[in-house]
Amino acid sequence: MSAEVLAKVVNLLSFVALGLTILLIVRTSLVGQVRVFALQSFVLASLSVLIAVYSSSLELFGVGIALVAIKGVVIPRVLNRAVAKIGLQRVAAPYLGTAPALIICGLLTIVAFYVMTPIAASNPLPTADAIPLAFAGVLIGFFIMVNRRRAVTQILGFLMLENGIFLLALLATYGVPFIVEMGVFLDVLVAVLIMEVFVYHIKDNFDSIDVGELGKLKE
């Protein structure tokens, strides 16, 4: 595989990953949102396997496998279980409606290109062109967390943000060393499990998972 072909495929897949992040804003069913996240994890995993083949790195191959296992299978299951248990199928009204949210996504993408293009230009790797796309994914994940009231959607925003960071590191450096990547996956998994417990607690205590209700602690 030549560097040009790799660059084209990487650009395409990174674009698909960013598109999936934005799709999360449009989807209104929680199950659908979880599916979007799982799909994005599979896209990222294929990207890492692709780059692993190109750079003949066994470690990166392992990272791709772990990514599918943890973010493609285990975490979506945990989230689906949570959605089923609390018996909620629809997402609550976000603070901003779909149309303004999409405009903000566009603005965030422009910001990402503005910040990251100089960095990408200094990078000799063939994958570097897609770095701004990955950073846009980080910013939009962050925006989803701020904009959504439901705890489950906040968790999904967090996971999308994590995926964006994973993609950023993958494109910029072919992934940080194996031990670090594994530790990060483990942290994310534990964080999601803890968040799941909290979703149940919030549901029991406040009778909804609308985190807008969490407003007791004021000055």
Partner 1 sequence: MMLLSLLLIPLAASGLIAIARRRALMELLHALAAMATLGTGAAIVTQVWNGAVLTAAGDLFRVDALSALMVTIITFLGAVAALYAVGYIRAELDDAHLSRVRLFFTLFHLFIFTMLVAVTTDNLGVMWIAVEGTTLATVFLVNLRQTRTSLEAAYKYLILSSVGIALAFIGTALVYYAGAAKAGEISVNWSALRAAAGLLNADVVRLAFVFIIVGYGTKAGLAPMHTWLPDAHSEAPAPISALMSGVLLNVGLYAMIRFKTVVDAAVGPEFAARLLIGLGLFSVLVAAVFLVRQRNYKRMLAYSSVEHIGIICLGLGFGGYWGVLGALLHMVNHALSKSLLFILSGNILLKYHSAEISDVRGLLRASPWTGGLFLAGMFALIGLPPFAPFISEFIIFRAGLESHPWATAAGVILLVVVFGGMLASVNQMLYGEPANHPRGDALRGWLAPLAANFALLLMLGLTLPSPFVAALEQAMKVLGG
Binding site for partner 1 (CB under 8 A): 115, 118-119, 122-124, 138, 142, 145, 151, 154, 158, 161-162, 165, 168-169, 172-173, 176-177, 179-180, 183-184, 186-187, 190-191, 194-195, 198, 201-202, 205-206, 211, 214-217, 219
Q: What angle do CA 186, 193, 35 make, to 5 degrees?
A: 90
- The nearer residue to partner 1, 111 or 119, going by C-beta atoms, is 119
Instruction: Report the run of H or E that residue 148 belongs to, with start and end.
Output: none
- The nearer residue to partner 1, 38 or 139, going by C-beta atoms, is 139
- The nearer residue to partner 1, 1 or 217, going by C-beta atoms, is 217
| Contact yes or no for 133/15 (Cβ under 8 A) | yes
- Smallest gap from residue 173 Cβ to partner 1 (A): 5
Please state, in angstroms and rounded to a whole number, the distance separating the CA atoms of residues 89 and 39. Answer: 19
- Smallest gap from residue 122 Cβ to partner 1 (A): 6
Q: What are phi and psi of 27, to 5 degrees?
A: -65, 140
Please state, in angstroms and rounded to a whole number, the distance separating the CA atoms of residues 208 and 57. Answer: 47
The per-residue DSSP string of 92-107 comes to PPPSS-HHHHHHHHHH
- Smallest gap from residue 197 Cβ to partner 1 (A): 8
- The nearer residue to partner 1, 99 or 177, going by C-beta atoms, is 177
Please state, in angstroms and rounded to a whole number, the distance separating the CA atoms of residues 73 and 95. Answer: 30
- Smallest gap from residue 99 Cβ to partner 1 (A): 25
- Smallest gap from residue 5 Cβ to partner 1 (A): 23
- The nearer residue to partner 1, 92 or 115, going by C-beta atoms, is 115
3-state secondary structure of 150: strand
